[in-house]
Structure 1
Amino acid sequence: MSGAICVVLLLIFLYCIGLFDGELKVKPAVFSGGALLVMLILLLNSLLSLRDKSAQIVLNESYFSGKTTPLAKAFGAGNWEDVTAINLQKVGGDTLVVVTLRNASNYKDRLPSMLWKMAYHAATQELNIMYSASVITIESDELYGLFMSYWKLSKKESGIH
């Protein structure tokens, strides 16, 4: 779909620079050229991400990490011992698994300022990291169950009940 949009934008750009009728249309050429550039960057980025064969979400007894949302990707790996809650939250057309973490100061240097403001809840001094099941081939309830089972497993491993 992105490729088709790029082709259409390229044709519009070529028309605006006068390739077909010899008449230069500056404003539409600038607009279509800018839109084409943005779409090409997005297309290349998505094509490069197809080559990434690593797991979208990693869960084990000691940590969890994921790349299903920009926030989760920037956050990296979190420790199960800092988890205080795991919930499902409906956001737009997607249901996200939200992992709430204490000791937010331990994770502050991982996130850019904008993402930190999205994740940090000042009243409770906790971080909310969101993971989406829509990127992988399971339902959000199943992903929630996996997060819960690994969290419970990590509590047993560390002796916390």
Structure 2
Amino acid sequence: MNETNLYRNRRKTTQLLVIAGAICLLLLLILFYSIGLFDGIFKAKPTVFSAGALLVLLILLIVNLLSLRDKSAQIVLNERYFLGKTTPLAKAFGQGEWQDVKFIDLQKVGGDTMIIVTLENPGKYKDRLPSLLWKMAYQESAQELNIMYSASTIDLEPSELYQLFVSYWKRQK
């Protein structure tokens, strides 16, 4: 059986973690300034904002550092199914079947370009996702489920990953 396994690109991941670390340092400096460490004047709003943002970013940074130990494929594509771990939604969703794919699109979402796989028959996959992720992925008006995959941590560019997804999907038509 023909199968493509895409693994983490250490250089890309390290670059993302260094940027996140730099932002953490900036937020830490803002926090120190806000609590009055430099000028003796306490500023409540910047303190709350910088402390909250720093906490969230540190948690995400630690989770991503721990995920570096995972040596398994980030995206697996074969003739029967697709599987990905590049976004929290894709990781929670797990394995999808090509026969349920209605459309595949490439879209800019925030600062990343995502491959969006639109699935028919969403009831088949409902029990896989927690309710918050289900609400993000499910379009009630169209009765479709949209699962997003990112190329930000693997060796391919988004357009190349998109072409790879489409080529496997077209084999099933």
- TM-score normalised by the chain length of structure 2: 0.69
Q: CA deviation at 1:68?
A: 1.0
CA–CA distance in structure 2, aligned partners of residues 6 and 89 of structure 1: 28
Match 1:97 to one of 105, 112, 115: 115
Q: Secondary structure at the match of 1:97?
A: strand
CA–CA distance in structure 1, aligned partners of residues 141 and 51 of structure 2: 46
Change over 3 Å in CA distance of 1:33–1:141 after alignment to 2: closer
Match 1:64 to one of 82, 100, 121: 82
Q: CA deviation at 1:41?
A: 3.4
Change over 3 Å in CA distance of 1:113–1:83 after alignment to 2: same
Instruction: Establish whether residue 88 from structure 1 lines up as the match of residue 106 from structure 2.
Output: yes
CA–CA distance in structure 2, aligned partners of residues 7 and 98 of structure 1: 33
Structure 1 alignment gaps of length 5 or more: 17-24, 156-160
Q: CA deviation at 1:43?
A: 3.5
CA–CA distance in structure 2, aligned partners of residues 6 and 129 of structure 1: 30
Match 2:169 to one of 142, 151, 155: 151
CA–CA distance in structure 2, aligned partners of residues 110 and 5 of structure 1: 34
Change over 3 Å in CA distance of 1:145–1:4 after alignment to 2: closer
Instruction: Establish whether residue 141 from structure 1 lines up as the match of residue 159 from structure 2.
Output: yes
Which deviates more from structure 2 when the two are superposed, residues 124-133 or residues 30-39? 30-39
Q: Secondary structure at the match of 1:138?
A: coil
CA RMSD of aligned residues (A): 3.1
Q: Report the equivalent of 2:10.
A: none
Alignment length (residue pairs): 153
Q: Report the equivalent of 1:125.
A: 143
CA–CA distance in structure 2, aligned partners of residues 69 and 149 of structure 1: 21
Larger radius of gyration: 1
Whichever residue aligns with residue 41 of structure 1, its letter is: I
Change over 3 Å in CA distance of 1:51–1:84 after alignment to 2: same
Change over 3 Å in CA distance of 1:95–1:36 after alignment to 2: closer
Change over 3 Å in CA distance of 1:87–1:3 after alignment to 2: closer
CA–CA distance in structure 1, aligned partners of residues 54 and 116 of structure 2: 36
Change over 3 Å in CA distance of 1:120–1:2 after alignment to 2: closer
Change over 3 Å in CA distance of 1:81–1:68 after alignment to 2: same
Structure 2 alignment gaps of length 5 or more: 1-18, 36-41
Q: Report the equivalent of 2:5.
A: none
Point out which structure has higher relative CO (alpha carbons under 8 A, 6+ apart). 2
